Structure 1
Amino acid sequence: MATSRATPESSGGSGSWLVLIYRIPSEPTRLRATVWRRIKALGAVYLQNSVAALPHTPANERALRKLQREIVGMDGTGVLLESSVLSGEQSVLGSFQAARTDEYEEIVDRCEGFLAEVEKEYAKNHFTYAELEENEVDYTKLVNWLEKVKARDRFGAPGRDEADAALARCEQALEEYAARVYAEEPEGH
């Protein structure tokens, strides 16, 4: 299924972006790393150093307001703006789409790793409840990760269908492995 290239307006958004401009003291460096991780976790893209953008939604605004307060609490400065892109919208949208596509590709890679691990269990003849539980935990992490990326994917980035298909293969492999564990593991172990 092809995904059309959406714009902020056609995706139900107002066409506006939230832009966080901030400065953090250079020491300790962990503060910069903390902010960078939080911005990436929100799905924002950097327009340049210390300038990050997200589509304007109430949830994104709350998250960036909170982050702005945390930055100020780190003895930094932060300004949160609502902006319409006057020129270069496709560049901003392209960066946002590329970030989501990269996330989808990483999920597909992790799914392939998950499937390889399940195959190793078959090769080693490891059909235990402990192994099954470990695989279920790994699968749940993949499911949760994909849901987070989908929630950030406001414009239908390429790669979503492939990530969904890869996760479906993981679910099928886990179900087959579970059936084998239940068939081979004696009750009560």
Structure 2
Amino acid sequence: MDTMKWLLLTYKVPPEPAAKRIALWRRLKGMGAIYLQNGVCLLPKTDDHVRRLKMLENEAAEMGGEAVILETVALDRAQEEKVIARFKADRDEAYREFIDKCDDFEKEIAKETEAEHFTYAELEENDVDLKKLQGWLEKIGKLDFYGGALAEEAARRLKGCEALLDTYAQRVFEAHDENR
């Protein structure tokens, strides 16, 4: 078995100010960490994660708390699979939320099309929304260390949103007599 190495961070920080504690939690979740319990989280071992956890260790100390970073491996394949399943579940939750936003995007385009509201302002607004979706999926993908089950569906849904906006844009151009 090729042993996977993880970084285990344990930390304890004062409950107040809550904003600093919450910011620390958000940063860890933003790195893709999974929490094994309060103040104990895990990330795949990479140079980037080592560097970022060391910076968070210093922040915890500045907050009057403490942190310990350990390199660890699973006891056996079953334990390793449990950990990987947790990472995948977190990513799939993010993909589900993303897919819900794709639904919203599709409904918005359908509403504007049904109302024959083919304006540049609406096109621009929807283009901004599509760019947000593209950036969001990219962020989720960077944290998808082990291939979440919904990754392909999310990518397919984004392509659908892109095609939908292209079709809507064509209708806007036609309404304004652009491509003739």
1:40 aligns with 2:29: yes
What are structure 2's unaligned runs of at least 5 residues? none
d(CA) in 1 for partners of 2:114 and 2:49? 46
Residue 100 (str. 1) matches residue 91 (str. 2): yes
- Structure 1, gaps ≥5 residues long: 1-6
8 A contact 2:87–2:145 mirrored in 1: no
Partners of 2:4 and 2:96 lie apart in 1 by: 27
Q: Is the 8 A contact 1:47 1:92 kept in 2?
A: no
1:30 equivalent to 2:19? Answer yes
Instruction: State how far apart, in whole Å, the 1-side matches of 2:45 and 2:110 are.
Output: 43
**Is 1:19 matched with 2:44?**
no
- Per the alignment, residue 45 of structure 2 pairs with 56
Match of 2:80 in 1: 89
- Conserved 8 A contact 1:19-1:80: yes
Partners of 1:63 and 1:137 in 2: CA distance = 31
1: CA distance between counterparts of 2:54 and 2:41?
13
1:121 aligns with 2:83: no
Identity, in percent, stands at 43
Q: Using the alignment, how far apart are the partners of 2:7 and 2:147 within structure 1? A: 19
Name the stretch that deviates more: 56-65 or 163-172. 56-65
Answer whether contact 1:19 1:81 (CA < 8 A) is retained.
yes
* CA distance, structure 2, for counterparts of residue 157 and residue 165 of structure 1: 14
DSSP 3-state at the match of 2:71: strand
Aligned position for 1:162: 153
Matched letter for residue 113 of structure 2: Y
TM-score, scaled relative to structure 1: 0.86
Partner of 1:72: 61
For 1:106 and 1:95, the matched residues in 2 are separated by 17
Shift of residue 186, structure 1, vs aligned partner:
6.2
Structure 1 vs Structure 2 CA RMSD: 1.7
Instruction: Give, in whole Å, the separation in 2 of the partners of 1:75 and 1:124.
Output: 58
Higher fraction of helix: 2
Structure 1 SS opposite 2:16: coil
TM superposition score normalised by structure 2:
0.90
